[in-house]
Structure 1
């Protein structure tokens, strides 16, 4: 084996090792994100024990909500219908009788540009489809898509984009997106996403 060939082999091995280390680092960073891991209807304390983000205890004999003490992503922990959101700054977990009743959140830590907004929404919808969620009320609320029609609707400050999904007879969710005036970036088009999840109410 020539010296040049030997050096090429070592360089190739080094590239593979570096790529593996970068991938591992990305996985570790993602797994280190604080998360609220829950299932609608479960004991609230079970959610607290499973989650890596800190959140206050439920108040006995009350219907109320708590907010994680840091930015956190949602890991919906149902074994069949599970999914994961990006980190969220607005995030509420509601409870009744010390059981998780519903979630309302914005899966983002700041208002997003339109391209980034659609990327988050389409990724969530893709996760839902793969997990067995189905869109409902399609005649009035078609699922989000990256089309000129959807972009025009979202850019309209007087309109809100909405879609509804259901997981069997267990859960329903509402997904909203609308244009938002960000005073920190007054010349940019920015958007907010809202996600609400609760037990299914039999809506067709």
Structure 2
């Protein structure tokens, strides 16, 4: 009888473990699907209806911003120039008079190592290139690349890297990479990526 009880307890514990693992996997999968999907210049409420992430309503007649209530990826929902970022923890959607004016995010949920930073940056730049975006003022702000020279600049706390990309005369993106002092990992080189999306503000 004691042996049967032990077998039953072990089966019950195994079942609980399996359910826990599956639940955690499902939560992770769902969190990866949480997004803010928007287009610059569209009604703020259209973004709220399209997005799977929860974000507060716009204040009537105001120029202000809101922040998603969870980590979320940005899906730029323009049919021609669209792109998708990794999950972001810092994420602001700016609006004016109920219309989306710009977005500023850090497309990461924690400061990244240099190799991981470059993977994110190169993926975004490749998406822009495939969608028809072009570098703006490339002689002064060239696309970031995984080269020894770029790695030296990015490791330099006074330099970092900045690049601008433009989609026709409709949209512009600024992408910035800088060293970041991570209090949780003081002995590691960590990096912060900042992305700003709006109508063009830097002339070619």
TM score, norm. by length of structure 2? 0.84
Does the CA contact (< 8 Å) of 1:76 and 1:83 recur in 2?
yes
State TM-score, norm by structure 1. 0.84
How far the C-alpha of 1:118 sits from its partner, in A, is: 0.2
1:114 aligns with 2:114: yes
2:7 matched residue in structure 1: none
Number of equivalences: 179
Partner secondary structure for residue 29 of structure 1? helix
Residues 174 and 197, structure 2, Cα contact 8 Å, conserved in 1: yes
What's the Cα RMSD here? 1.7
Describe the superposition over 1:146-200 as per-residue Cα deviations: whole angstroms up to 9, x where unpaired.
0000000000111121000000111001000000010100110000000000012
Contact persistence 1:103–1:197 (CA under 8 A): yes
What runs of 5+ residues in structure 2 fail to find an aligned partner? 1-24
1:67 aligns with 2:67: yes
Tell me how far apart the structure 2 counterparts of residues 41 and 129 of structure 1 sit (CA, whole Å).
Answer: 22
Deviations 1:72-120, CA, capped at 9 Å, x for gaps = 0000000000000000000000000100000000000000000000000
Cα deviation, residue 139, structure 1: 1.2
Q: How does 1:95-106 map to 2 (within 5 A)?
A: 95-106=95-106
Moved more, 155-164 or 110-119: 155-164
Q: Any residues of structure 2 matched to 1:178-193 within 5 Å, and which?
A: 178-193=178-193
Contact 1:169 1:202 in 2 (8 A): no
Task: Report the counterpart of residue 159 of structure 1 in structure 2.
Answer: 159
Q: Answer whether contact 1:36 1:51 (CA < 8 A) is retained.
A: yes
Q: Partner of 2:87: helix, strand, or coil?
A: coil
Structure 1 unaligned spans of 5+: 1-24
> Where does residue 171 of structure 1 map in the other structure?
171
Q: Is the 8 A contact 2:53 2:68 kept in 1?
A: yes
Q: Distance in 1 between matches of 2:139 and 2:115?
A: 25
